[in-house]
Every structure is written in structure tokens, then in C-alpha cells.
């Protein structure tokens, strides 16, 4: 029996439809919300809810696509809950532009916690087989833990390599205050309360798009093209949120280089662990540990950054040196380690039922 769904016209049409829905939501909605950031910034409004919602759009695109084409097969509770909480986050983001004295941080934190808890309940309620088919199962805790620890070691190594040669080892050590260490420790349990936007990105890029890109374009080229797509996806944030005036293009160049490196690292982690939770946790720590090396615990440290060509070049070279080496791993280069596409998983499940 032919199991290559990409040679079957029915599945080719389905995949094309799902890809159109995915890109329309992940890119279209994300870019539209970029206009909201621009408006808010121009009027001195706190726009911190917008990036959180934008992070949720890739997974939203995946879930809407599968609910549209394969409603009977999807884990309904978790998918519907995610769709609803994404809608709520989007509405609140827009409301923050026009409601006077809108308590952005309080509303955002409460919404994140409630959304994550509801999604966890949805996963628990859904059938085990559906959780597995759509990569929402736990996977190997040992492998996930090992790869996350490896990533954390490399993360701190990257910071050390950047800081010590220019500012000295004393400056690097000075970051490790009791307050910062407590903050880092709290990040671990905090993950289970606020992971939903990080799942939002990784479910779209790693679970859905990575195996499709690798199947169509080859293992290595697929990973690199994914990194490019992922980088360009950040365009509204690069232009209107991360960068100071007139440095948006440099911010985008930096973003693409960083996303290429992380696409390799996160892609390796997903293929090695076979669990979406590995890249989700890595993405979470990557974003939140920025505050460990900041002078204050304010998310504004990532806003209005001034970029230079020298800074961008050094940053891209450093992330590629630290994470890019995983491109030579068998999990990235060899076809037998490619993660199945979502459609292959569903097809195999259907075939197993027929064969029984």
C-alpha cells in the first residue's frame, strides 16, 4: 500500500489548503497586528500584549487549518480552547490601544496564566491517541530534559563568549546575584503557567512546517529555509518593536541570522527528543533569560534597541558558532531521523485501522 501521501492528489490538495490557511493566519494576522504596534508606539501606548498574541499565531494557523480539513481527527478540546484564548488575547491587545489606563501587564499575565491552565486541561481531556497524533503528548522526559540542559549550557556559554573578551570575567560573574539566581530558579515552575505563546511559535514552526519543509526540500535545506521564513515572520516586530528608529533593517538582518541558528538548534532538539516540548521549553528559556543579563527585570529591555552592522555581525557569527554546528548531526542530515509530517502521522493512523 502506498503510504507516500505527497504522491496522492487528495492529500496534496489537502496539504496545499492547510498551508494556505497556515500562512494566511501566521503571516497575515501577524503583519496586521504589526500596524497596531506602529499605531501604539506612535501614540505612546504600551503595546506589550501584541508580541504575545503574535507568538500565538503560528499554532493558531495550524489548528484552524486542521479543524477546517480534519475536524473528526483533531484533539478538539485543546484546539478549540487554544483558538478561543488566542482570540481573547488578540481582542485585548487591540483594546489596550484605545482603553485609557489599560493595565497591560496585569491583564496580559492573568490572560497568559488562565490560557495556559485551560489548554493543559484541554490536553488532559483529549484522548491519548489524538494527543500523540498531533504531538501534544509528553514524549521522553529524559531526552527533553537532557536537550534543554544542553541548550542552557550553550546559552550561558554564548553570553560568556560575548561578555568576557570585551568587558572581563568580573562583569560576567556580576550577573550571578542572589536575586538573579532566584529568578532563574523560578523560571522552571513558571513555565507550566505561561508556556502557551512559546508553544504558539514552536507548534507552527517545528511541529507543522519543519517536517514539511524537510520532506519537500531535503533535510538541511528544509531547516535553513524554515529559519529564513521564521526570521522574515518577525518583520513587524523588527520594524516597530525591537529596534530604535532607522535601525529596523539591521534588526531584521540580525533576526534572520539568529533564526537560522535557532532553526538548526531547535530542529535538532525536536528530531532528537521527538517531543515538541523540547523546543517549546528552549524557546521559553531563551526569551526569559534575557532578563538574567539585564540591569532590570523589565521587558522593555528588548524594545527600541539600537543596532549597528558590527553588533549584528558579531551576534550572528556567535549564534552560528554556538548552535550552527548541530547542522552536521545525523538528526539534521539523515532522512531516517526526519520527524513525520502531521499528514503522514494521520495517514499511518488511518492505515493501521484499515489493516486491523
Report pLDDT digits (tens) over 151-161. Answer: 999 999 999 99
Banded model confidence at residue 7, pLDDT cuts 50, 70, 90: low
In a domain, residue 3? The reply is no
- CA 261 to mean position of chain CA atoms: 14
| pLDDT value at residue 275 | 97
pLDDT averaged over every residue in the chain: 92
Banded model confidence at residue 26, pLDDT cuts 50, 70, 90: very high
* Residue with grid cell 488562565, as numbered in its chain: 114
Q: What percent of the chain has pLDDT over 70?
A: 95
Across residues 30-59, what is the average pLDDT? Answer: 96
pLDDT tens-place string over residues 205-244: 999 999 999 999 999 999 999 999 999 999 999 999 999 8
Where do the H-state alpha helices sit in the chain? 9-23, 30-42, 49-69, 76-98, 104-125, 128-133, 141-167, 169-174, 178-194, 196-202, 210-217, 219-233, 235-237, 248-273, 277-288, 309-323, 330-333, 342-355
Residue 178 has pLDDT above 80, yes or no: yes
Total structural domains in the chain?
A: 1
Residue 163 has pLDDT above 60, yes or no: yes
Backbone angles phi, psi at 195, to 5 degrees: -75, -10
In a domain, residue 1? The reply is no
The burial of 345, by beta-carbon neighbours within 10 Å (0-12 exposed, 13-18 middle, 19 or more buried), is given as middle
For residue 197, how many C-alpha atoms fall within 13 Å in the half-sphere facing its CB? 20
Residue 353 has pLDDT above 80, yes or no: no
In a domain, residue 326? The reply is yes
In a domain, residue 86? The reply is yes
Banded model confidence at residue 345, pLDDT cuts 50, 70, 90: confident
- Here the cell at position 240 is 516597530
Of 165, 219, 194, 198, nearest to 333 by C-alpha is 219
In a domain, residue 157? The reply is yes
pTM: 0.94
Instruction: Please provide the size of the chain in residues.
Output: 356
In a domain, residue 226? The reply is yes
pLDDT tens-place string over residues 259-291: 999 999 999 999 999 999 999 999 999 999 999
In a domain, residue 2? The reply is no
Strand partners, 151: none
Of 339, 321, 320, 323, nearest to 331 by C-alpha is 339
DSSP-derived secondary structure letter, 75 = -
Is the dihedral angle over the CA atoms 235, 237, 240, 243 positive or is it negative? negative
Range of the domain at 88: 9-355
pLDDT tens-place string over residues 94-142: 999 999 999 999 999 999 999 999 999 999 999 999 999 999 999 999 9
In a domain, residue 349? The reply is yes
| pLDDT value at residue 351 | 43
Banded model confidence at residue 246, pLDDT cuts 50, 70, 90: confident
| pLDDT value at residue 265 | 98
Residue 356 has pLDDT above 60, yes or no: no
Amino acid at each position: 500500500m502506498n503510504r507516500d501521501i505527497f504522491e496522492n492528489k487528495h492529500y496534496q490538495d489537502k496539504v496545499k489548503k492547510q498551508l494556505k490557511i497556515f500562512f494566511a493566519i501566521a503571516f497575515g494576522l501577524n503583519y496586521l497586528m504589526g500596524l497596531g504596534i506602529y499605531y501604539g508606539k506612535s501614540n505612546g501606548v504600551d503595546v506589550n500584549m501584541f508580541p504575545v498574541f503574535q507568538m500565538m499565531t503560528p499554532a493558531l494557523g495550524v489548528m484552524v487549518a486542521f479543524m477546517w480539513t480534519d475536524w473528526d481527527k483533531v484533539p478538539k478540546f485543546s484546539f478549540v480552547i487554544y483558538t478561543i484564548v488566542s482570540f481573547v488575547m488578540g481582542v485585548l491587545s487591540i483594546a489596550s490601544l484605545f482603553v485609557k489606563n489599560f493595565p497591560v501587564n496585569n491583564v496580559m499575565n492573568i490572560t497568559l496564566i488562565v490560557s495556559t491552565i485551560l489548554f493543559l486541561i484541554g490536553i488532559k481531556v483529549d484522548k491519548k491517541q489524538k494527543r500523540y497524533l498531533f504531538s501534544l503528548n509528553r514524549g521522553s522526559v529524559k531526552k527533553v530534559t537532557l536537550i534543554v540542559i544542553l541548550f542552557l549550557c550553550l546559552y550561558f556559554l554564548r553570553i560568556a563568549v560575548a561578555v568576557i573578551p570585551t568587558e572581563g570575567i568580573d562583569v560576567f560573574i556580576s550577573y550571578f546575584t542572589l536575586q538573579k539566581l532566584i529568578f532563574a530558579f523560578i523560571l522552571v515552575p513558571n513555565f507550566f503557567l505561561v508556556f502557551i505563546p512559546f508553544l504558539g511559535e514552536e507548534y507552527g514552526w517545528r511541529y507543522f512546517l519543519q517536517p514539511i519543509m524537510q520532506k519537500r526540500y531535503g533535510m538541511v535545506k528544509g531547516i535553513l529555509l524554515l529559519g529564513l521564513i521564521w526570521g522574515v515572520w518577525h518583520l513587524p516586530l523588527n520594524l516597530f518593536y525591537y529596534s530604535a528608529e532607522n535601525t529596523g533593517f539591521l534588526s531584521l538582518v540580525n533576526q534572520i541570522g539568529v533564526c537560522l541558528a535557532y532553526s538548526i538548534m531547535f530542529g535538532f532538539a525536536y528530531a532528537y527528543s521527538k517531543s515538541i516540548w523540547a523546543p517549546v521549553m528552549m524557546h521559553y528559556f531563551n526569551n526569559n533569560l534575557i532578563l538574567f543579563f539585564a540591569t532590570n527585570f523589565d521587558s522593555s529591555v528588548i524594545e527600541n534597541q539600537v543596532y549597528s552592522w558590527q553588533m549584528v555581525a558579531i551576534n550572528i557569527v556567535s549564534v552560528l558558532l554556538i548552535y550552527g554546528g548541530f547542522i552536521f548531526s545525523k538528526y539534521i542530515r539523515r532522512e531516517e531521523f526526519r520527524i513525520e509530517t502531521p499528514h503522514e502521522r494521520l495517514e499511518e493512523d488511518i492505515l493501521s485501522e484499515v489493516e486491523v
